[in-house]
Chain A
């Protein structure tokens, strides 16, 4: 019953999109009807016509929309959540891909995300690139991607805003910071990729990109420079890469990813800061073990941050390593129901895990330098296209809270709870 309804809803939505595109192309609908007078169903004939027109190019359109309700005992996360809770977390995306030649794919995705002061909901280009397959022989592929592509790191970054592909409503924040998310999402540049698989040993894939990071965002600026500054961050040439190994049964998946991110600072006329530079270099290790019922996942990251030439003794002395990891178990009770349990830890500076040195030097709370999050959640795949879920977090520490949503760090509470529910639809 659900499935049928859902198929019908799918047909309806995909037809609607096709219909809008047809209107845009400016084709007269009636003409087709004349060609095929026996077909009384305009919807079907327009849709068929569209399929015929686009099928040589393999046009696919997909999308998703998710709405969450989040309530926190203290502190704000994705909006004003600590009073009565908030419906302020909304994600929606629409993507199209086209394969005009067997070696060429064009893909584009527009994303709207509303989550506190960091994300306003204004649609942005999430990715838009051409993928040319230079070499393809059986299970070995090699190609190039040019344009704006998703940054390949960890298991989840490539599709981090699609609720269906996440293990929980909120991704483990120690690895997938939503505070500095805009710089982590995608980059403009060139990426090479290769894939190879062996009938016994499994498959390996490698991606390597040279890119200009997307830095124009106040949340990024505030996280890196500790509050709003007069000038602007500017992108410098940066590098990103990931190697992924999977056994043929995908039981074991292992990945190593690295980013070498370079940013400059462009001071304004009366700026106290000079044109400094920031280097941010995280390395990620990811491992997953899959069975029919279980998926056990763990990721570890070590992040090097270095600041120089700002002509500010505090900023210029910053040269530290942050450390994060999580352990996560997902259990599938049935294809429709799954549970998740996770322990997620972040240390902003691994030499000052308690944050005490930082507190002594800055006067800000020690708990703003670490966060330990225990998460338990439940997911219900109502249909293939519609999903409901809920989760509870018990958090000790505030290191990954956004300073835009929590402007006064001394007002934040070290021990806090977060409860969330989410509905998500995709096609």
Chain B
């Protein structure tokens, strides 16, 4: 009786593991850039400067074009918290201050991962973030150290 129970337990556990790792796979994302961007590694500090719209050009002088999902998108929230360590409302407040004081510009907002893919793949100098199952060879993946 005990044995059957533990067998069932194992099966359930394996099933559960499959399920949650599958979930993880879908939740995983990377920072992506246009294929023409030379940078392959970026410091967290520079990443923060880019997404707070303060750093405006790559090292070769090319203009950086920032793409983000809407403030309430789950991936945007995750990205803001995990990579930048801020809440989406803080990013929005900072962007609003730039736009309405004229001291900066707002990032471009795309409304889906498909839109993110096509925008970053086709815009020179662009940077965004994307779930790994959307990433293809048209994009570069940036390592953040």
Taking CB atoms, residues of chain A closer than 8 Å to B57 are 102-103, 136
Query: B23 an interface residue at 8 Å Cβ cutoff?
Result: no
A101 to B56, CA, bound (A): 10
Contact A141:B70 (CB < 8 A) given known A62-B106, A102-B63, A290-B90: no
Question: Are A384 and B46 in touch, CB under 8 angstroms?
Answer: no
Contacts between chains A and B (CB distance < 8 A), count: 111
Interface string of B85-113 (1 = CB under 8 A from A): 11111100110110111111110000100
Stretch at the interface among A76-84, A126-134, A272-280: A126-134
Question: Are A250 and B86 in touch, CB under 8 angstroms?
Answer: yes
Q: How large is the interface on A (under 10, 10 to 19, 20 to 34, 35 or more residues)?
A: 35 or more
Question: Are B99 and A133 in touch, CB under 8 angstroms?
Answer: no
Stretch at the interface among A41-49, A104-112, A390-398, A400-408: A104-112
Taking CB atoms, residues of chain B closer than 8 Å to A34 are none
Residue on A with the closest CB to B58? A102
Question: How many whole Å from B31's CB to the nearest CB in chain A?
Answer: 16
Stretch at the interface among A15-23, A192-200, A304-312, A414-422: A192-200
Stretch at the interface among A157-165, A174-182, A229-237, A343-351: A157-165
Contact A139:B45 (CB < 8 A) given known A102-B63, A249-B86, A335-B72: yes
A162 to B108, CA, bound (A): 20
Residue on A with the closest CB to B42? A138
A287 to B86, CA, bound (A): 18
Question: Are A141 and B102 in touch, CB under 8 angstroms?
Answer: no
Question: Are A139 and B85 in touch, CB under 8 angstroms?
Answer: no
Query: B114 an interface residue at 8 Å Cβ cutoff?
Result: no
Taking CB atoms, residues of chain A closer than 8 Å to B94 are 250
Question: Are A138 and B62 in touch, CB under 8 angstroms?
Answer: no
Query: A409 an interface residue at 8 Å Cβ cutoff?
Result: no
Taking CB atoms, residues of chain B closer than 8 Å to A164 are 96
Q: Which residues in chain B, 63-84, are within 8 Å of chain A measured between CB atoms? A: 63-65, 70-72
B85's partner among A105, A150, A248 (CB-CB below 8 A) is A248
Question: Are B49 and A62 in touch, CB under 8 angstroms?
Answer: no
A165's partner among B44, B86, B97 (CB-CB below 8 A) is B97
Question: How many whole Å from B111's CB to the nearest CB in chain A?
Answer: 7
Q: How large is the interface on B (under 10, 10 to 19, 20 to 34, 35 or more residues)?
A: 35 or more
Query: B54 an interface residue at 8 Å Cβ cutoff?
Result: yes
A103 to B58, CA, bound (A): 11
A128 to B72, CA, bound (A): 32
Taking CB atoms, residues of chain A closer than 8 Å to B102 are 95, 97, 105, 107-109, 127-129, 131, 149-150
Residue on A with the closest CB to B94? A250
Contact A158:B101 (CB < 8 A) given known A139-B55, A199-B44, A332-B89: yes
A145 to B101, CA, bound (A): 12
Question: Are B103 and A107 in touch, CB under 8 angstroms?
Answer: yes
A141's partner among B45, B54, B72 (CB-CB below 8 A) is B54
Interface string of A33-54 (1 = CB under 8 A from B): 0000000000000000000000
Interface string of B111-126 (1 = CB under 8 A from A): 1000000000000000
A197 to B55, CA, bound (A): 11
A384 to B69, CA, bound (A): 13
Residue on A with the closest CB to B93? A165
Question: How many whole Å from A112's CB to the nearest CB in chain B?
Answer: 15
Question: How many whole Å from B115's CB to the nearest CB in chain A?
Answer: 12
B45's partner among A60, A127, A145, A198 (CB-CB below 8 A) is A198
A245 to B91, CA, bound (A): 16
Contact A136:B103 (CB < 8 A) given known A165-B96, A384-B70: no
Taking CB atoms, residues of chain A closer than 8 Å to B106 are 60, 62
Query: A222 an interface residue at 8 Å Cβ cutoff?
Result: no
Closest 5 CB pairs of A and B: A107-B102, A102-B57, A158-B101, A139-B49, A102-B63
Known pairs A7-B111, A164-B96 / 6 extra A-B pairs, C-beta < 8 Å: A97-B99, A103-B56, A138-B55, A159-B96, A198-B45, A335-B72
Report 12 cross-chain contacts, Cβ distance below 8 Å, ordered by A residue.
Answer: A102-B62, A103-B56, A131-B102, A138-B49, A150-B101, A159-B96, A165-B97, A195-B54, A199-B43, A199-B44, A199-B45, A335-B88
